[in-house]
Amino acid sequence: YTILTVNLEEMDAIGLPDKAFIDINNNPDAMEFLVLNNLATDTGYRRGSGWVEYPMVHVNLPLVFQHCPESFNRINIYA
């Protein structure tokens, strides 16, 4: 297991529950994996932190839910 996202805002990905910034600094192959497996699509938006430009993705929540429905019980998308 690994953490694929990075928080660059006070609220995750500007408060949008189906958006996330991908941690390509610690997981350089994460974007390719997510896109190839249809788990996320690249929005084209980047946010810099230090010397890294982190890509924002649109997460395929229905597909993620299919693979791990129990994890959605712990997610608070209204925080």
pLDDT in tens, 10-44: 655 455 678 889 999 999 999 999 999 999 999 99
Please compute the mean of the pLDDT values over residues 55-61 and round it to a whole number.
92
- Do residues 41 and 57 make contact, with C-beta atoms less than 8 angstroms apart? yes
Higher-confidence position of 73 and 56: 56
| Maximum Cα–Cα distance across the chain | 36
CA distance 48 to 52: 6
Please compute the mean of the pLDDT values over residues 1-18 and round it to a whole number.
68
Please compute the mean of the pLDDT values over residues 38-54 and round it to a whole number.
93
Q: Do you know the residue count of the chain?
A: 79
